[in-house]
Every structure is written in C-alpha cells, then in structure tokens.
Structure 1
C-alpha cells in the first residue's frame, strides 16, 4: 500500500498528567503515515483521487487541541481515529506523538507514543428472548451506531427462531450486524459486553434466556482462539439463526477455517 507521510507537525497543546501541563501547555510533534492507494492520483494528476495532506494536518491539529488528555496514548488514539475518518481513501494510519518537553528530571531527547490503527470488518450476531426483544435489539444497534470507533453499519432482517441448546425457553428474535471498526477484537468485545450489561443481560444458564445476546462471529479473516474469545464463532455453521442473517449481509465471505462461503454453509445446513 502506498503511503503519504507527514513529519514533525508542530502543535501546541495541553496534555499531561500534571496540572501545570494542562494549564501552561507545551509543544508536541506529530508524525503521521497515511496508507492510501495513490495509483489513480498518479495517473490522473487529480487531487480528488488522493488525500489532501493539508486537510489532514488541520484534522490532526483539531484532534490534538479540542480536548485535554492526561496521556499521549489517549491523544494518539484520538488523532488516529480522526485521521481515519477524514477520508474514505485512508485505510490505515500510523501515528507518533513526540513530547520533547515532558516533565522528566533527566536529560533526554524526546518521549513518544507510536500506534497503528485501521478499519476492520466485523460481523455481530444479535439475539433476544426476554422483554420487548425488537426494542432491545434496536437500542443495542443504536448504541453501536453512535460509537465513535464504528462506521458503515448494515443490519439484517430480524427473524424468529426456536431456542438452541437449552430448549426450555421462549422463541428468540435474531439478526446480525456488519460494520467497520477501528477497535481490536477485544476492544469490540468489551463494547458488546457493556451494551449487553446495560440491557440487563445475565449469564445464569448456558444457552439460556437473555434480554440481549451479542456474539462476535467474524473479524476480518482473523482466527482467534483465546479463553475469552474465539473467532470465527466455533458453532456458527450449525446455527440457522446465525447463518441466515449472516448470509443476507455477506453471502460471499469465506469462512477462514472451513473454507466455504457463508451462503454455502447455510445451504449445507438446510440440506441436513
């Protein structure tokens, strides 16, 4: 991927743990790498096919000065997200924030934080069988839409399905949501758990009734196997209530473990 680089952008801001840093302010230097496909711009010599780096410098300055942060890690996160949102052509950005005037009682050159952020595609399964399930799911989707780290949300139709696993409970309302996010898989999982908790979700019975169930099904082509997170969802190929909404949103997505399109997995399940 091609890169547009902005080096040593000097910005006066008020970030720091100590009160005097917030009051007096100091100089920060921002280095940014924008990952952009510049071929069309190179062939046409038209700015509309590339990214206006002057505009991006303004975006960086605004992100650095509109709010005071204790940590430059937080400032870097804000800058990265602002840069990614500034143009649909930017698919990834590397941000470094240098703090040469940091309050360190020793001789040093600079202190800096470097981060890399990009857009990722995620599929989230939606489910509920307690309360006003339609309203509960709609509120969950709204909270996801309003999150600053998520964009381009598409929601499937909602379907009524029989309970899976633990059958002594009412029917479920199920669906799925596809989005782009700058959050990591665990960051997205934390967001989902927070929304579940706000909806009154409890985990008393495995596969039991719930006000809201949010499951991370896919995250790009990533394969994750950790105690608290498995992606792709390990049992999705056996769940009609996951596959039907998923096939509506991303029928041609190839399962990175099973090597089949989502639409093919649904066909196989239907054949059974």
Structure 2
C-alpha cells in the first residue's frame, strides 16, 4: 500500500483535563500517514487523480479547532473518523502531540492506526 505523509501539522484546540487548560486553545502537532493506492496519479501525473493533502490538512485542522475534548486520545480518534468520512483512504496512522504540556518533557503524544471498515 502506498503512503502520503503529512508531518508536523500545527493545529489549535481547546483541550485538557485541568481548568487552566480550558482557558485558551493550545498548540498541537499532527503527523498523519494516509494509506492509499497512488498508482493512478503516479502514472497520470494529474492532481485530480490523487488525494488532496491540503484538503486533508484543512479537515484535520477544522476538527481540532471546533472540538472541546478533554483527552488527546479522543481528539485523535475524531480526526481519524473525519478523514475516513471525507477521503478515500484505506488506512490511517495518526500521531497527535501535545508538546507544551509537561515542562520536563519535550513532547507527549498518542498514536492510532485504523483501517477503513467495509
């Protein structure tokens, strides 16, 4: 299966379990691997034949911007479900990072891999 990568996508979301986290949107980073057959666009060299990764990035950003989840696990799964609803991909790996949450850690993240249910 072929892959399209979107790495380091910065999004904003109101997320967290503590009161102080609910005051303002926080910076999150998203890494996405989209599994899809890329043979047709590779042969045609036509953008209409491939996944529009700008649209995928915008869709993920919109989910983050409009959500109010407590956990990054819940937001990550919502992003995956939205991608499956909007785009013809067979499988997704999505890593959602909350880099500014722990002062003694560079990053905290969750990663999910899900396949389309037929």
Q: TM-score category by the smaller chain?
A: over 0.9
What is residue 81 of structure 1 aligned with on the other side? 81
1:10-159 equivalence runs, <5 A: 10-88=10-88, 90-102=89-101, 104=102, 106-120=103-117
Count of equivalent residues: 118
- Secondary structure class of the residue paired with 2:23: helix
Contact 1:17 1:70 in 2 (8 A): yes
Specify every segment of 5 or more residues in structure 2 that has no aligned partner in the other structure, as ranges. Answer: none
Once residues 23 and 80 of structure 2 are traced to their aligned partners in structure 1, the CA distance between those partners, rounded to angstroms, is 25
- Secondary structure class of the residue paired with 2:111: strand
- Secondary structure class of the residue paired with 2:22: helix
- Secondary structure class of the residue paired with 1:24: coil
C-alpha displacement at 1:14, in angstroms?
1.0
Contact 1:36 1:50 in 2 (8 A): no
C-alpha displacement at 1:70, in angstroms?
0.4
- Secondary structure class of the residue paired with 2:60: helix
Specify every segment of 5 or more residues in structure 1 that has no aligned partner in the other structure, as ranges. Answer: 121-179, 181-272
User: CA-atom RMSD, angstroms?
Assistant: 1.1
